A = this chain, B = another copy of it.
Amino acid sequence: MNLLACSSHTAFFLTLTQHTEKSRIKMRRLGTLCSQSYMCSKYVNVTPISSFVRHRTGESPQLVLPSIRFHLVLIPIRFKVHKLASPLAFTDLPPPVQDGVLIRGDNALPAAKHALSILDGNNRFGIKIPYLLLTNGGGVSESARCHKLSQQLGMKIDPERFIQAHTVLKSVVHKYADLPVLVLGGKGNTLRKVAEGYGFKHVYTTLDILAWNRSVCPLHDHTDEERESVKTADFSKTCFAAIIVFHDPQNWFLDIQVMCDLIQSGGILDGPYQPKHTRKLVDLVFCNPDLVWKSDFDRPRLGQGAFKEAFQGVFKSLTGAPYPYTQFGKPTEATYKFAEQMLRGQLVENSSLDSVLVTNKSNPFVPPQSDNCIFV
């Protein structure tokens, strides 16, 4: 999880781990595949994909306590110099917080609470410093996640200060609001409701399609929970505009089968396969590029990035080429720009900052100069 906060320094984004050759290769490769989105080193000091950590929701951990980890990410706002007489150095914080850990198991670390309380006004200026918590997790609504997080941290975390992998989709709702979209990931009906909460009006899942015609994926049987989540529709007449992978899919086989069908037939599941250059393009969107993530198992578990690789492996073997897609989530430019907009909103609404800000609140951002930072 990333913590985005106002800072006295001009570093735009800071991550606590270093570039590696592997991460650069990964970036280049992903960059080649992305058609509608790209990554930009100006925006992103990328950590190796394989080291990303995401909190596992659900039951209590069994072996190793999972943790929410944040990389301290700063947006540069120049504060008046006299306020910086004895700044609190970031390195004064305990190592777990420096390493990005906010929560271990079900409990927040004291250091995390301390850091957040500083941002929440417990500082020598008595001001609330705008910040965001940014994670590649998801699968539930922002309000549900913040409710649990608030209990763990012992302080209210407002959904307006919280971005999970699929939150950025609010910025593209206008493109698909009135069109059928296929939403992948999550359990049962949960992400349909999240998507509808964002403003998507015609949201379907692969389980809906399987209920319409079991022959779509004859080896998959609905569980009772899955059956209860089904929304009925005639998919022989439904033309999907987009496939949006909100969260890590559980039913890879079913989901990849339906993705391949929809894409090859120009959006209508029951339609004939059409030649590549004549068929209608079905937009494909992923919200989390992480190949693996850290759960309470000893070794990293496969994430949404692995699902993407599996899909592309199959699609390429069927058609000869991978399918172009849009990538959201850390560390993509689109997600950081979305976060920037949310922070701007907090700045504009926060009158207590007027006395300490040098720059214009409507445009407080300056180019990055360094990766080091200090709190105000």
Contacts from A to B (Cβ < 8 Å):
50, 56, 58, 61-63, 213-221, 223, 248-253, 256-257, 260-261, 270, 272-273, 291-292, 295-299, 301-302, 305-307, 309-314, 316-318
Contact = CB atoms under 8 A, between A and B. Distances in A.
Nearest to A26: B317
B310 A220 contact: no
Given A309-B313, A310-B310, A295 B256 contact: no
11 contacts: A215-B297, A216-B297, A249-B253, A251-B253, A252-B252, A256-B302, A256-B306, A256-B310, A306-B314, A310-B311, A311-B313
Contact of A56 (B56, B218, B297): B218
A298 B261 CA distance: 11
Contacts of A213: 62-63, 297
A298 B273 CA distance: 10
Given A250-B219, A252-B256, A314 B298 contact: no
A309 B317 contact: yes
Contacts of A295: 215, 218
A295 B223 CA distance: 22
B248 A302 contact: no
Contacts of A214: 62
Given A216-B297, A218-B295, 14 more contacts: A50-B318, A56-B218, A215-B296, A219-B248, A219-B250, A256-B302, A260-B302, A261-B299, A272-B299, A292-B318, A306-B317, A306-B318, A309-B314, A309-B317
Contacts of A249: 253
A220 B260 CA distance: 23
A304 to B, nearest CB: 11
A215 B62 contact: yes
Contact of A291 (B58, B223, B257, B318): B318
A314 B317 contact: no
A221 B218 contact: no
Contacts of A261: 299
A194 to B, nearest CB: 17
A335 to B, nearest CB: 21
Contacts of A291: 317-318
A310 B302 contact: no
Contacts of A217: 301
Nearest to A50: B318
Contacts of A299: 261, 272-273
Contact of A58 (B63, B218, B318): B218
A166 B26 CA distance: 38
A232 to B, nearest CB: 17
